Chain A
Amino acid sequence: MIYSIIVLALSVIMLVMALVAIHHKSLQIAVIASGIISLFASVVYIFLATPYVAITEASIGIALTVIIFFYVLNKIRHSDAKE
């Protein structure tokens, strides 16, 4: 029962973060929101007893995707500043 409540709460947070990622004006906050979705998805996978999928979500969804987004955003800002 307590697990279901935790999973439900995490899912609600994920939905809110998805809306933030779509509708927020700042790109940085949108990227972080999508990272938070992955973070809570990874926790939900742990509750669903699939640690393999959880670690995949953690390594790719949280670390690699977010850092690549920030890297490319940084690059774009650099080249915009030059022009």
Chain B
Amino acid sequence: MLRNSLKIIIIAALGWIFFFQVYSGYSSRDDLNELSTYYATEGLTEVGAANLVTSVVVTYRGLDTLGEVTILFLTALIIGLMLKVERGGDRTQVRNSSEFLVTASHVLLPVIFMVGIYIFINGHLTPGGGFQGGAILASTVILMLLSFSNNKISHKLLEIIESVSGISFILLGILGVLFAGGFLDNKILPLGEFGKLFSAGAIPVIYSLIGLKVGAELSNIILGFNQIQGKDDKSV
């Protein structure tokens, strides 16, 4: 009891100190700092993407995005290593999914899939991009697994999609070094008309590749979970 109240007192004191510091030192600033001003004024002419966030994420800070993709790849790799089971083991009969889920999936799956693809193809025009679209694609895969439990989704195909899009992403970056200003520069393709689908140079291509890669990776992780269950089925 005493220790608990001591803990609460310490947490409250730390919280008070923290919030007091933040509150007393806080003053809202209405102007952009130097870097943000550069992005906001030069981004339109230099990159030509309607969504400024995308121009920062894919072009100005493209190397960071490559790092994020690498981290996700490593995570998928490690999870795949942990969940390693014999590939293609036959899954025994599982319980059929409920009628509601199956019927709703027939209607919703194509729509959600299209939304995912729309989000990463239009990453340079509307909010969103490769990571968000890839996550939505992965949720369609998990919905497919839940509702059509007897269907098999090809591990091999997902791996091929993932590797091909990853390699093309790096190759596009190297093309930027050879033909334009630097690694992952988007000017290897013409900038096009501002606000159209085929604009902003290589950004739509790069974001579509990232979206496919992220979607395939997350789906592979989920399929790994599914296979570990298949192994348990056999042992029981």
What residues of chain A have their CB less than 8 Å away from a CB belonging to chain B? 51-52, 54-56, 58-60, 63-64, 67-68, 71-72, 74-75, 78-79, 82-83
* Residue ID in chain B nearest A66 by CB atoms: B139
Contact B225 A64 (CB under 8 A): no
- The count of chain B contact residues (Cβ–Cβ below 8 Å) is 26
Contact A64 B127 (CB under 8 A): no
Our count of residue pairs bridging A and B at CB distance below 8 angstroms stands at 56
Q: Counting chain B CB atoms within 10 Å of each CB, which of A59, A60, A68, A75 scores highest?
A: A59
Question: For the complex, would chain B's binding face be called helix, strand, loop or mixed by DSSP majority?
Answer: helix
- Ordered by A's residue number, 30 sampled pairs between the chains whose C-beta atoms are within 8 Å are A51-B127, A52-B127, A54-B127, A56-B128, A56-B131, A58-B132, A59-B132, A59-B133, A59-B135, A60-B135, A63-B136, A64-B135, A64-B138, A64-B139, A64-B142, A64-B218, A67-B139, A67-B142, A67-B146, A68-B142, A71-B142, A71-B145, A71-B222, A75-B229, A78-B94, A78-B229, A82-B232, A82-B233, A82-B236, A83-B236
* Residue ID in chain A nearest B52 by CB atoms: A52
| Nearest CB of B to A16, in Å | 19
Asked if B53 lies at the interface with its beta carbon under 8 angstroms from chain A, I say yes
Asked if B206 lies at the interface with its beta carbon under 8 angstroms from chain A, I say no
Q: Tell me the bound Cα distance from A82 to B230 in angstroms.
A: 13
Asked if B119 lies at the interface with its beta carbon under 8 angstroms from chain A, I say yes
* Residue ID in chain A nearest B94 by CB atoms: A78
* Residue ID in chain B nearest A57 by CB atoms: B132
Q: Tell me the bound Cα distance from A64 to B221 in angstroms.
A: 12
Which residues of B sit under 8 angstroms from A71, Cβ to Cβ?
Answer: 142, 145-146, 222, 225
Which residues of B sit under 8 angstroms from A79, Cβ to Cβ?
Answer: 229, 232
Return the contact of A63 from the options B139, B225, B236 (Cβ within 8 A). Answer: B139
| Nearest CB of A to B30, in Å | 14
Which residues of A sit under 8 angstroms from B136, Cβ to Cβ?
Answer: 59, 63
Q: Tell me the bound Cα distance from A68 to B171 in angstroms.
A: 33
Which residues of A sit under 8 angstroms from B191, Cβ to Cβ?
Answer: none
